[in-house]
Amino acid sequence: MLDACAELLDEGGYDALSTTRIAQRANVAIGSVYQFFPDKRAVAQALALRNLEDFGIRIGELLSGSRFERWSQLVGNVIDIFVDMHRTVPGFRVLRFGDVADLNLLDEQADNNAVVAGRLRELIVTTTGVADGPELERAFAIAVETGDALIKMAFRREVDGDDSVITEAKALIEDYLSRYLDR
């Protein structure tokens, strides 16, 4: 059902999504959808959580296979993973981590980008030993919002993402974060 949801998101966006269409695409009875999900928002939430889990797995694989001498290398690779998911994961370009459905889809207490920023900040702190704190929390919130906006722009400009915008996004985020991570 989640795969069907992802396909439908790619075809028509979130507004065109419905539980009926998900059931039809998944070739299951509508009751089967409702057995697991009360509405399309719940299906989208499950897909967004799957996307976040996939993002985390990809980052974990990156960390297990590479050593980074600088935090900026890690940040650039994380952006590459995010861009690759836009290019290869069905439904991701539309839903990402759920903001198109609900800004608080991943967590009722925090917006979706704040959840992602928190996880990325934790990753950088754990991996590099950088000191955590409120300034770093704010910096990662700004970096994630900026990166998200620029990646959206890249994919509006070109169907597979405008590489020049993606390169600028990396440079801008790395430069900004250096004020907090190169102390």
Residue 42 lies in a domain: no
Residue 57 lies in a domain: yes
Nearest Cα to Cα of residue 148 among 107, 101, 102, 98: 98
Residue 39 lies in a domain: no
Residue 16 lies in a domain: no
Residue 33 lies in a domain: no
**CATH classification of the domain holding 159:** 1.10.357.10
Classify the phi-psi angles of 19: left when phi > 0, otherwise alpha if psi is within -120 to 50, otherwise beta.
alpha
pTM to 2 decimal places? 0.85
What local confidence, expressed as pLDDT, does residue 73 receive?
A: 80
Give the pair of three-digit tokens for residue 133.
């704190």
Residue 56 lies in a domain: yes
Mean pLDDT computed over 139-155: 94
Phi and psi (nearest 5°) for 103? -65, -20
Could you give the number of structural domains in the chain? Answer: 1
Residue 145 lies in a domain: yes
Instruction: Give 165 or 131, the one with higher predicted confidence.
Output: 165
Give the pair of three-digit tokens for residue 100.
């198109």
